[in-house]
Chains A and B, each alone.
Chain A
Amino acid sequence: MSLILLTGSDAAAYGAKLAKIEVLSYYPITPAFPAMERLSKFIEDGEMNTQFVRVECDHSALAAALGASLAGSRTFTVTNSQALLYMTEVVYHTAGLRQPVVMAVANRALSAPHSRFPEHGDAISQDASGWIQLFCENNQEVLDTILQSYKVAEACRLPVMVNYEGYIQSHTQEEVEVPDQAEVDAFLPFKRVAALEVNNPQGLNTVTSPEFYMDYKYRQNEAMELASDMINSTARKFGRQFGRDWSGVIEGYKMEDAKHALVAMGSAVSDARIVVDALRAEGKKVGLVKVRSFRPFPAEALRAMLKSAELVTVLDKNIIFGAGGALGNETKSALYGYRSVPVKNYIIGLGGRDVGPEEIRKVITLSEERAKQQTAYEWFGL
């Protein structure tokens, strides 16, 4: 184990290296590219035994990863925003074909207008794709989540997106513990499962009649529902072995007696922890729920955490036009019919607009002032 300064991109690259990926396919895009640069250096220096497939576009990048995965190899790619949209067709193929591809996504705003700055809009656009979507709050979590993702993906036969925000995480250095290879090997053994076999030829992704299609989709959704348990048990196992507990699909921070609960995901979580600590010091019963897994969405666990909250404030770094924030909508959906509690949904930090502890503190004050006002969602920071 060594403690070094790493950006989120570096952490993703170290994660892929430690997972001993066999195929890396990539097409450049900002802010995801430093992860690929770091990986290509590892490959060039002979530190990884990995086939680097250089392709002509993002659609092909994921298609190459999918093909390699179908042939049985452990594959990785990294992308964001426009490139993720361009991949979308293959994003759905990968999930439907049940391939354990792991993809790091350095979340960035979507065009138009063109932006290179962080928010969660790109990942949210893929929320129905059938990928497990995990959101990381810091760079250590990026590395650790990549390792956990392969375990979850290969057990559930589902692809995983590991999300960290562009620049805020992808280009910012933090202290990161890089585990030893031997420890990772013990945590993450690899059992090759190849759908494409020379000695057992079969047609994949064949035209499927109404008689079978719906059953395939039922099974895919069933696997997604079961993935929550696997994400939880993998996080626990990881915690026991490496001493860092990322608490699976969801984490409650000072929620035991919280009257006002914040719900957030991604980098806002680490800022919100600072705010919660400060408000607790002032005697205010504020707590924080970190949603680590957006897909599958931990509705039941979230409901349990919010069981005694009197006000819920949801922070969303995305906007679904005409409907509010994705996390806000999921939170309301999880509570509906179980509890009648005001859920205030704030749209924050789109396209890189700065959101730090000060802003989150203002959102909390605003939410408390406006708790009685029934609004589906509100914008903060305009």
Chain B
Amino acid sequence: MVKNLPIVPSAKPGSMAEAPSGIAWREQHPVIGDKCNQCLVCTLFCPEGALKQENGRVIVELKLCNGCGTCAVECQQKAIVIVAEYEGDRGVFPLKEGKA
């Protein structure tokens, strides 16, 4: 069934932010620790605008974060820790016997 779409290919502002592609392939993301002094340098360097101040704290919007780690490098307080999305085995695994 063909979808009914606008004649001019278009979308409301912010449509891209609702479903950013980063979520699918992000390998790591930052966690803001207690050493944060709210200097907001990280918010200036974040290429995705994923960091913002809310209620006196810096928070990460994970649906925007691409996991580049720039915030952790730029943080003068060393308050940001980068955490892996997946901790299990990586690479190509030999087939286990009896399983296709």
Chain A contacts to B: CB under 8 angstroms: 70, 96-99, 157, 195, 201-208, 212, 215-216, 218-219
Sampled A-B contacts (19; CB under 8 Å): A70-B8, A97-B8, A97-B9, A98-B7, A157-B8, A201-B13, A203-B11, A203-B12, A203-B15, A204-B9, A204-B10, A205-B9, A206-B15, A206-B16, A207-B16, A208-B9, A215-B2, A216-B5, A219-B5
How many chain B residues sit at the interface, stated as a range, is 10 to 19
Contacts of A207 in B (CB 8 A): 16
Contact indicator A219/B10 (Cβ below 8 Å): no
- B35: Cβ under 8 A from any A Cβ: no
How near does chain B come to A10, taking the closest CB pair, in angstroms? 34
Contact indicator A157/B10 (Cβ below 8 Å): no
- B90: Cβ under 8 A from any A Cβ: no
Q: A208-B9, A219-B2 are known; give 16 further A-B pairs, CB within 8 A.
A: A96-B9, A97-B9, A98-B8, A157-B7, A195-B8, A201-B13, A202-B11, A204-B9, A204-B10, A206-B10, A206-B11, A206-B15, A207-B16, A212-B3, A215-B3, A218-B2
Contacts of B16 in A (CB 8 A): 203, 206-207
How far apart are the CA atoms of A99 and B9 in the complex, in Å?
A: 11
How far apart are the CA atoms of A374 and B2 in the complex, in Å?
A: 42
Interface of B is mostly: loop
* Least CB separation from A70: chain B residue: B8
How far apart are the CA atoms of A195 and B2 in the complex, in Å?
A: 22
Contact indicator A215/B11 (Cβ below 8 Å): no
How far apart are the CA atoms of A203 and B5 in the complex, in Å?
A: 14
How far apart are the CA atoms of A99 and B10 in the complex, in Å?
A: 13
* Least CB separation from B14: chain A residue: A203
Contacts of B13 in A (CB 8 A): 201-203
Q: A204: which of B2, B3, B5, B8 is its contact (CB, 8 Å)?
A: B8
Instruction: Name the 8 nearest CB pairs between A and B, nearest first.
Output: A215-B3, A195-B8, A206-B11, A202-B10, A204-B10, A203-B11, A98-B7, A218-B2
Contacts of B10 in A (CB 8 A): 195, 202-206
Contacts of B12 in A (CB 8 A): 202-203
Contact indicator B15/A219 (Cβ below 8 Å): no
Contacts of A205 in B (CB 8 A): 9-10
How near does chain A come to B35, taking the closest CB pair, in angstroms? 37
Contact indicator B5/A212 (Cβ below 8 Å): yes
Contacts of A98 in B (CB 8 A): 7-9
How near does chain B come to A137, taking the closest CB pair, in angstroms? 32
How far apart are the CA atoms of A215 and B5 in the complex, in Å?
A: 8
Choose among B2, B9, B15, B16 the residue with the greatest number of A CB atoms under 10 Å from its CB: B9
Choose among A70, A97, A202, A208 the residue with the greatest number of B CB atoms under 10 Å from its CB: A202
* Least CB separation from A195: chain B residue: B8
The 8 A CB mask of B1-34 against A (1 = contact, 0 = none) is 0110101111111011000000000000000000
Contacts of B5 in A (CB 8 A): 212, 215-216, 219
